[in-house]
Amino acid sequence: MKNLVVGAGFSGAVIAALIANKFNEEVLVIDKKNHIAGNCYDYRDENGIMIHKYGSHIFHTNSEKVWHFVRQFGNFNQYMHKVYAVIDGIETTIPFNFNTLYNVFPETLAKKLEEKLLKQFKFNTKVPILEFQKQNDEDLKFLANYIYEKIFLHYTLKQWGVSPDGVDGAVTARVPVYLSKDNRYFQDKYQGIPLNGYTKLIEKMLNHPKIKVELNTEFLNQKADRIFYTGAIDEYFDYKLGQLPYRSVRFEYETHNREFYQQNSVVNYPCNYDFTRIHEYKHYLNDKSDKTVIAKEYSENFVIGSNERYYPVPKDENTKLYNQYLELAKQESNVYFLGRLGDYKYYDMDKAILRAIELFEGITNA
Ligand code: UDP
């Protein structure tokens, strides 16, 4: 076998498409799941609503290369994601910004804080919460503690099982305090949801006479000239150095006999309930139905054999263990590891795609 790709998610599909199109070589893509698209998998349910089986996926990128690449396989709408959060019973948007400030505080207090913030920080800048906490001014200290407590602490405890300082600062920095009035969750130049869904987009990537896809197929050390492995790197090596920790997610679905359940696709509940957030999928593609489907998201530890890997857990000791696996990987000269699980990195979709494209660019067609 010339090329074997393990995993039919974005990383696997991108590398398979590039090998087939640019090298004109045969590629076998295997996936142990019964569907392609990995955790980006979506499908239309009986109500005609596009469900993101593994939770909301919103495409956003600043990379021209990535945007150009994905649009060969499908068009996107112009959805720009916002996240609502319920804080002390008040529905507002996060990241915390000047609008949030005025939503949650009385106007005079908000104004005072706004003035102090603008003296301290430049307008339109982003400050990670762990950085934002380093304040000398009493009022700003109060604000920092408020944001930490109401938005980050309990959500992070639910999501990661530890407080924000128990995971790498980059995790909470994904949702920085934003000195702005921009309510969007992402500021990337290109944003949207594929009009026909992620599964169809990835199906089109894999639709090539040289690409063969086999589902329900485990990797059992099949041999190939090149192996692109997008599964978990610790599993590849039979966990010989120990297990890399992951967080998993469980969704509880509900169908409601009304047009909308909530105003927005995602509403976070940082301080209430045991779930982290509620997804309402029909918002993404403006699906029309007199019913709506929501999913309450609960985080849990990943346990081999009982649930799926969703998130690598970014922190030093895990990176150290990953680096040891990486050393082993260097000895497997024809095996390329990539993707969230192969690289043990908290990639967004665009970063996983870019990684696959760049990996391909480093390979020569001997
Ligand atoms: N976060 C939080 N409260 C929120 C939203 C995010 O504390 O309301 C923190 C939490 O630690 C979370 C991280 O920021 O895991 C990254 O959030 P993001 O929405 O990027 O996570 P994802 O959508 O990838 O699950």
Q: Does 96 contact ligand 1 (Cβ within 6 A)?
A: no
- What's the pLDDT tens digit per position in 205-233? 999 999 999 999 999 999 999 999 999 99
Residue whose CA is closest, atom 7 of ligand 1? 152
- The Å distance, Cα 172 to ligand 1 centre, comes to 6
Residue 94 in contact with ligand 1 by CB distance below 6 A: yes
Each residue's pLDDT tens digit, 177-186: 999 999 999 9
pLDDT band at 364 (very low <50, low <70, confident <90, very high): confident
Q: What is the average pLDDT value for the chain, to the nearest integer?
A: 98
Nearest-atom index, ligand 1, CA of 185: 19
Residue 41, phi-psi category: left (phi > 0), alpha (psi -120 to 50), beta (remainder): beta
Q: What percent of the chain has pLDDT over 70?
A: 100
- Sheet holding 27-30: strands in order across? 211-214, 27-30, 3-6, 226-229, 335-337
**Identity of residue 309:** R
85 lines ligand 1 (CB under 6 A): yes
To test the pocket of ligand 1, the residue of 157, 172, 184 to mutate (highest count of ligand atoms within 8 Å of its CB) is: 172
Residue range 250-295, pLDDT digits in tens: 999 999 999 999 999 999 999 999 999 999 999 999 999 999 999 9
Residue nearest to atom 21 of ligand 1 (CA): 174
Name the residue at shortest CA distance from atom 10 of ligand 1: 156
- What is the pLDDT, as a whole number, of residue 365? 80
pLDDT of residue 103: 98
Question: What residue owns the CA closest to ligand 1's atom 9?
Answer: 172
Render pLDDT for 4-41 as a digit per residue (tens, 0 to 9). 999 999 999 999 999 999 999 999 999 999 999 999 99
Q: Which ligand 1 atom minimizes the distance to the CA of 164?
A: 11
Q: How far, in Å, from the CA of 250 to the mean position of ligand 1?
A: 16
Q: Cβ(266) to ligand 1 under 6 A?
A: no
Of 51, 11, 53, 1, nearest to 31 by C-alpha is 11
**Residue 305, pLDDT score:** 95
Strands 226-229 vs 3-6: parallel, antiparallel or unpaired: parallel
Average pLDDT (120-125) is 98
- Gap from CA of 165 to ligand 1 centroid (Å): 14
- At residue 366, the pLDDT reads 66
Closest Cα to atom 11, ligand 1: which residue? 156
User: Residue 41 corresponds to which tokens in the numbers above?
Assistant: 């998998």
Whether the pTM exceeds 0.85: the reply is yes
Q: Is the pLDDT of residue 56 over 70?
A: yes
277 CA closest ligand 1 atom index? 8
**HEC assignment per residue over the chain:** CCEEEECCCHHHHHHHHHHHHHHCCCEEEECCCCCCCHHHCEEECCCCCEEECCCCCCEEECCHHHHHHHCCCCCECCCCCCEEEEECCEEEEECCCHHHHHHHCCHHHHHHHHHHHHHHCCCCCEECHHHHCCCCCHHHHHHHHHHHHHHHHHHHHHHHCCCHHHCCHHHHCCCCEECCCCCCCCCCCEEECECCCHHHHHHHHHCCCCEEEECCCCCCCCCCCEEEECCCHHHHCCCCCCCCCEEEEEEEEEEECCCCCCCCCEEECCCCCCCCEEEECHHHHCCCCCCEEEEEEEEEECCCCCCCCCEECCCHHHHHHHHHHHHHHHCCCCEEECHHHHCCCCCCHHHHHHHHHHHHHCCCCC
Please tell me if the CB atom of residue 159 comes closer than 6 angstroms to any atom of ligand 1. Answer: yes
User: In whole angstroms, what is the distance from residue 47 CA to residue 290 CA?
Assistant: 8
